[in-house]
Every structure is written in structure tokens, then in C-alpha cells.
Amino acid sequence: MSRSASMQSAFPPADDSARRSAPLVEAKALCKRYPAGERGELVVLRDLSFHVMPGEVVAIVGESGTGKSTLLHLLGGLDRPTSGRVLFEGADVFEKDDEALAAFRNRSIGFVFQFHHLLPEFTAVENVAMPALIQHRRMEEVRPRAVELLRTLGLGDRLDHRPGALSGGEQQRVAVARALMNRPRLVLADEPTGNLDTRTADALHRELLRLSRAFGQTFVIATHNLALAEMADRVLHLRQGRLHPAEEAAPPVVPPNPDPAGDVGEGD
Ligand SMILES: Nc1ncnc2c1ncn2[C@@H]1O[C@H](COP(=O)(O)OP(=O)(O)O)[C@@H](O)[C@H]1O
Ligand SMILES: [Mg+2]
């Protein structure tokens, strides 16, 4: 099977240290507040603690505005918390200065955003290689891995397409390949399929899970798509600034009825 053979070369077997029983990433009493003018403060995350084990796929679900992006940004060192800590392999991410933090992100974290943020003037293979080029590695050295990743994601015949010549699903696959380029320990995906039609979104989610299962890649995926979230190892709901296990309270399928009588019959 050429596909799995190509996957093998793109993802050499993880070394044993990748499979330790200690958490890969741990949030400890994270708080994030924003100033909100006369109304005081907007508390987005309050005293939030959780951890992710190596190889786990954790889905974070929650309505729009509950703080999913904020949380992923903190986990990936893109933003600093108001208080609390993020430990990555036991080390405090925010003890690093900005330069060390940027190097940490480049080396250890892969980001997939809702909007792919590909560079329009570069080809697919150049976009995928970018995280390695930022490390001052040479294109001829890193190109084979970028090509392998694109082949693994089914884009072997789109290597030299610019983002504008790719479909939404293809662009997002390029973004996934880019996130994996530097063999990050953790991939953070922020509603990665939010802008795709259902079928394409479903295919991309399955692809992420396949990568995770085949290579022990750790993912934290924010999504508001419950059906897709349920493919993860663990589903956590972000509500009122904290994470709750899925079984604690499934969110309502329809918005809560504002009518205090709560009649679900034929109200407006
Ligand atoms: N830089 C910021 N300044 C002020 N408020 C912000 C900022 N970033 C996000 N927020 C607010 O924080 C809340 C959580 O945002 P976000 O993390 O983007 O939610 P989600 O990703 O779940 O939709 C929202 O109410 C948003 O308006
Ligand atoms: Mg968001």
C-alpha cells in the first residue's frame, strides 16, 4: 500500500519518550480576563485546570464566545494568561521570554486555525515547508518532508498550486500539513473545519484522527460540531470559564427556551 508507505516515511515511528505517562500539557488554574470598559472586566477563563496526555485527542466544545480560541492560544503560548500556568512537558511555558516562546511554538506546537492563514504568494509545498524555513533550514533539505506530508493528505498532485487555486478543503489540508511539518509534540486545531461543508469537514476530521491513531500525534481540537467532537478520545465542554466532562451536562440541542414556563411545544 503506497499510501501507508508514504505515511511511514513522513512520520517515522515516535521514540519512546513520546509515550511517557506524564501529561504532555497541563493547564493550572488558568484565568484570562479582558478589560471591558465601564462594565469592568470580561472573565473568559476562570481557574481552569486540565491536562492532555501524549497521544490523546481532546475535543473542546462550547458555544461561540465561550473562550475556546482563548484557551488554545494560551495552551500554545500565543497569548499570556492573566494568572495561572501552562506546563508543557513539565516546564512553565510563560517563564520563557518572547524569543524563547516563539522558538518553543515553532518547535513544539502546530496550529491549525479556522481560517487557514496560508501565504497566498507561496505554493502549497512552500507553505507546508514554512515552519522549517523559519528555522533557517534550506528548502532542498526540507522539501521531501513537505512533499510527503502533502501526499499523505491526498494532495500529491497539488504541490505547486497557490492557495487561491485550491478548494477550501484542500487549503485546510495544506494548513494541517504545515502544522505537522516540524513534528510538533502538540497540534492545536481551532475550529479547523468551521468553514467547510459537512462532507469535507467530516473527511478532514477523520484525517486528523487517522494521523493521531497511526502516529500517536496529540491533538486538542476546538469545535462546535458535536458529531465531529465525539470522534475524539475525550470531549470537554467549555462553559462559564471552565472545562466540564461531556457526561456532566450535554449542551442543549436547541437554544434554551427564554420563556420561564419552559414549554417546548409551539412557542416562539
Ligand atoms: N483581545 C480581546 N480583548 C477583549 N475581549 C476579547 C479578546 N479576545 C477575545 N475576547 C472575548 O473573549 C470571549 C471569548 O472569545 P474566544 O476565545 O474567541 O471564544 P470562542 O473561540 O469560544 O468563540 C469573547 O467574548 C470575546 O469577545
Ligand atoms: Mg474561536
3-state secondary structure 133-162: HCCCCCHHHHHHHHHHHHHHCCCCCCCCCC
For residue 66, which ligand has an atom nearest its CA?
1
Residue 51 CB-density burial (10 A; 0-12 exposed, 13-18 middle, 19+ buried): middle
CA–CA gap between residue 128 and residue 155 (Å, rounded)? 12
Do β-strands 91-92 and 242-245 pair in parallel, antiparallel, or remain unpaired? Answer: unpaired
Cα–ligand 1 centroid distance for 4 (angstroms): 40
Which one of the ligands is nearest to 80 CA? 1
Q: Please report the pLDDT score of residue 182 as a whole number.
A: 93
pLDDT at 259: 47
Task: Say if residues 45 and 70 touch (Cβ distance below 8 Å).
Answer: yes
Going from N- to C-terminal start, the domains of the chain cover 53-83+95-247
Q: Is the CB of 62 under 6 A from ligand 1?
A: yes
DSSP string of 57-107, one letter each residue: EEEEE--TTSSHHHHHHHHTTSS--SEEEEEETTEEGGGS-HHHHHHHHHH
Q: Are 18 and 186 in contact (CB under 8 A)?
A: no
> Could you tell me the distance, in angstroms and rounded to a whole number, from the CA of residue 70 to the centre of ligand 1?
6
Cell numbers at 50, concatenated: 486540565
What CA–CA distance (Å, rounded) separates 135 from 148? Answer: 19
| Residues 125-184: tens digit of each pLDDT | 999 999 999 999 999 999 999 999 999 889 999 999 999 999 999 999 999 999 999 999
Q: Are 242 and 48 in contact (CB under 8 A)?
A: yes
Q: In what order do the strands lie in the sheet with 234-239?
A: 109-112, 186-190, 218-223, 57-61, 234-239, 242-245
Question: What's the whole-model pTM score?
Answer: 0.84
260 HSE (CA, 13 A, CB side): 0
Return d(Cα 246, Cα 59) in angstroms, integer.
Answer: 10
Confidence band (pLDDT; 50, 70, 90) for 110? very high
Cβ 70 under 6 angstroms from ligand 1 = yes
> What's the rounded Cα separation, in Å, for the pair 205 and 199?
10
Span from the CA of 165 to the centroid of ligand 1 (angstroms): 32
Evaluate if residue 239 carries a pLDDT over 80. yes
Instruction: Round the average pLDDT of the chain to a whole number and report it.
Output: 85
Q: Cα separation of 119 and 70, whole Å? A: 24
Question: Which tens digit of pLDDT belongs to each residue from 24-58?
Answer: 999 999 999 998 888 789 999 999 999 999 999 99
Q: Which residue has the higher pLDDT, 50 or 10?
A: 50
Q: Whose CA is nearest to atom 17 of ligand 1?
A: 67
The DSSP output letter for 115 is S
Chain-centroid distance of CA 142 in Å reads 23
**Is the pLDDT score of 247 beyond 80?**
no
Query: Within 10 Å of residue 101's Cβ, how many Cβ atoms?
Result: 17
CA of 15 from ligand 2 middle (Å) equals 33
Distance separating alpha carbons of residues 222 and 190, to the nearest angstrom: 5
Topology annotation, domain 53-83+95-247: Rossmann fold (3.40.50)
CA distance 219 to 205: 11
